[in-house]
Structure 1
């Protein structure tokens, strides 16, 4: 079972900063295979100094323990060959890859961030890696996917998924996702790679993410309330056909709760121009959000989009203005609207000049 992104509780920082992490609560993988665990986090990235990221075993001391994965050259990981390593290059990416999975990888792990004086261990949310034995020859049709996922309206979600099947049968591979209780013979699929059976929404709001033959990963963008359903996967290749009805995925949809992240310099001096950043929640691959500022500033705002891998994008807006003493105590607000769904979220703070 390969669960997807869920949010940890938030620990509040100064001026609206939040330490939060989005990573699978647990994952099941077979011995000898590999697994990618998508992960993103928020932190105080404004602190001076190099940024270091670590994964530790549960119970390991953050100061003296040896990490299982590390970007700090002065604190190398247990295995120097990179069998367990951080996958992403983006500042807020904590994604983890475990290759050549072994039985003793079945442990809990936690993530740690360090940048100058800003340091935080995300102990409130620890990842469980469960390891199973390899498949026997008789176990042909198996699927690894999250049993359920919760996602907020307007955002997007990637559901990692892999399956085993009879790939030796001649003919092209076709993959589908259907709604539970729909008949695959006659129903229109939610997702399809078969050009003769197009999906309900041809624009690709819901689509398959991976290119590999055994990849059934699913992306849902611009999440709506009516996406709250159960889904099942189907495979076809020549005479080899199978619907994985024994394992159906539940997508749970909640209201948009996450707020934007506001990054404001700690010191605002009159007459000195500054940049303030508002980062939209999530890293979505769907319709870009609209970011607006409130506060009546004589300012210039610039929208920024940064690719995060797997087709996802981080959206933010950078506001440049020159503070004056008149701005002291003024409220600066940032509103993020997801136009495809019609929902919005806001964060505001008061300036100290």
Structure 2
């Protein structure tokens, strides 16, 4: 069993529950058409109908038989046939006539209940299409379910119903001979009410960015005028509007020769903007009769993962890390603390409420997970990972947490040393971020009077050592320059002593090699050299060279050589 109109039955197969329904809920209408939604491949197969009735005296399975004359019988539905405006109604009917009579055509009338017999002015249908006596408001709206009248099926369908169509309907059969005509006294009663049936809106699974198609099926299986479909979409808190980029189409499916199903499709690309909003399908029938159905769109989507935090906190404060993701269905969010060891092997510790002490808390709400660590310590610093699992996909976002702290510095070294020895003191600090370490020497006077915070100019920091190093480098460069100048002066002096007979080098000095060993003592000088306004003092005595530089003063005296001395004197006399 896949369907039972008796809702109290519990024998319907579970896989069909809620998926099968009657197109006409009133079983008295003798419309057993069903619709099966959310089809699956295994729904393929053969379906069979069973009708269960309550036995009544003088009635058939679906109606009451009346035989006013021998051989002339008519069977109509007992009771009132209910219908709704804009749709259609079927009046089931069958008849029999004597075998000798051949039916030419049949006629239906609609007349007031006060009339025992309807007349030609009440004609609503005539199978003889040449007749012009059919009322104008019924023309084109009434047809036989079986066009061959010899089949004795007098059932008719009235489309595009109006509430004014309510009333009693009577059948007349007409044979080839005029005397073979008969109007049956039994009547069928039709009651047309306002339209209450709604269209059926089918919404498949919606995924952001994937083109999808919605289907709206009009109520009723009628063969009358095709209805008009309108789709409307309503944003959150806004008025109705059209869906951007939508494509609509109308489809008509013939269910039987006298019945068809009308539907409209709406194709669009859903997004997160559509999630939770309403889509409405309105169906407009003839006579300005309309009905509509509204459905909610549930779109599967996931947005970018976002982390809000105060990633740098001081020791003792509270750390709050919040991971947010907008998605549907809601995502699973977890926080993971990555330790040094776990970062090397790719694992971490997943933080959940049942793993926290009193100093931590995890608050989980729709699309949000907030991790709070109270009274943080240096050990709480490190990398925290927010993992978001949505459907079959996973995203991760990292945040590096730093804890600002400072411990008392520790000084190590030998605090007692001998005069002239090396004093080594090491100051170690334990803090984050690393502190600036400076050494300060405090005068004895300040230490005696307790003014330990008084800092004098002999405070040494790393910058002082660098300044001293720069001074030493400059001093070494000056010494090298002085040495070069001394050597050049020596060559210049020798060339002056030898006179013009000596061969000069391009620089003006003698080519004769000499070494610094020629000088006995840097404090004595026997040669006299020309003076320079920049390097030599004006008051130097004969045979003495004195050079003055900032912070440097020295003289040089060459070793006496008799031969050269005489040669030098003669050259000086000639000059």
> Do both share a fold (TM > 0.5)?
yes
**Residues 57 and 108, structure 1, Cα contact 8 Å, conserved in 2:** no
The gaps in structure 1 that reach 5 residues or longer are: 1-7, 28-36, 59-106, 110-127
Paired residue for 1:22? Answer: 24
Paired residue for 2:143? Answer: 207
Q: CA deviation at 1:216?
A: 1.0
Distance in 2 of aligned mates of 1:182 and 1:131: 24
Partner SS for 1:306: strand
Q: TM-score, normalised by structure 1?
A: 0.65
Q: CA deviation at 1:161?
A: 1.4
Partner SS for 2:133: coil
Structure with greater helix percent: 2
Out of 259, 283, 294, the residue aligned to residue 348 of structure 1 is 294
**Residues 10 and 18, structure 1, Cα contact 8 Å, conserved in 2:** no
Q: TM-score, normalised by structure 2?
A: 0.41
1:193 aligns with 2:127: yes
Kindly tell me: are residues 25 and 349 of structure 1, through their superposed partners in 2, closer, same or farther at Cα, counting changes over 3 Å? closer
Q: CA deviation at 1:131?
A: 9.1
The gaps in structure 2 that reach 5 residues or longer are: 9-17, 234-241, 300-575
Paired residue for 1:335? Answer: 282
Paired residue for 2:203? Answer: 264
1:250 aligns with 2:181: no
Q: CA deviation at 1:349?
A: 1.5
**Residues 10 and 19, structure 1, Cα contact 8 Å, conserved in 2:** no
Distance in 2 of aligned mates of 1:335 and 1:9: 30
**Residues 177 and 189, structure 1, Cα contact 8 Å, conserved in 2:** yes
**Residues 73 and 97, structure 2, Cα contact 8 Å, conserved in 1:** yes
Aligned pairs (5 A) from 1:32-181: 38-52=31-45, 54-55=47-48, 107-108=52-53, 130=61, 139-147=70-78, 148-166=80-98, 168-169=100-101, 173-180=104-111, 181=115
Kindly tell me: are residues 19 and 352 of structure 1, through their superposed partners in 2, closer, same or farther at Cα, counting changes over 3 Å? same
**Residues 143 and 244, structure 1, Cα contact 8 Å, conserved in 2:** yes
Partner SS for 1:190: strand
Distance in 1 of aligned mates of 2:66 and 2:77: 19
Distance in 1 of aligned mates of 2:37 and 2:62: 34
Q: CA deviation at 1:324?
A: 0.8
Kindly tell me: are residues 251 and 19 of structure 1, through their superposed partners in 2, closer, same or farther at Cα, counting changes over 3 Å? same
**Residues 23 and 219, structure 2, Cα contact 8 Å, conserved in 1:** no
Paired residue for 1:308? Answer: 255
Structure with greater strand percent: 1
